[in-house]
Amino acid sequence: MPIYEFHCDACDKDFDHRTTMESRDTKVACPDCGSKKTGRKLSIVAVGNNPQSQGASAGHVHSGGCGCGKSMGSCGMN
């Protein structure tokens, strides 16, 4: 089941929500404030053959918060 990113207009926070592709546009309640004034965000995905990503972390998309220990931008994927 895919994970989608949402934004809450009531409390101005972003959150992830796991749902089916068929239900991805259904309003979901914000886990912080409970509001249903939420909307799905456009997620950007990096796909391709990047020579800097070869090795143990091949295919790794680094977002800075993944816990791999590398600094933001050091994976060569962003």
> Helix, strand or coil for residue 20?
coil
Starting at the edge strand found earlier in the chain, the sheet holding 13-18 runs 13-18, 3-8, 38-40
Q: Per residue in 6-44, pLDDT tens?
A: 999 999 999 999 988 888 888 899 999 999 999 988 877
Please give the model's pTM, rounded to 2 decimal places.
0.53
pLDDT given at position 34: 96
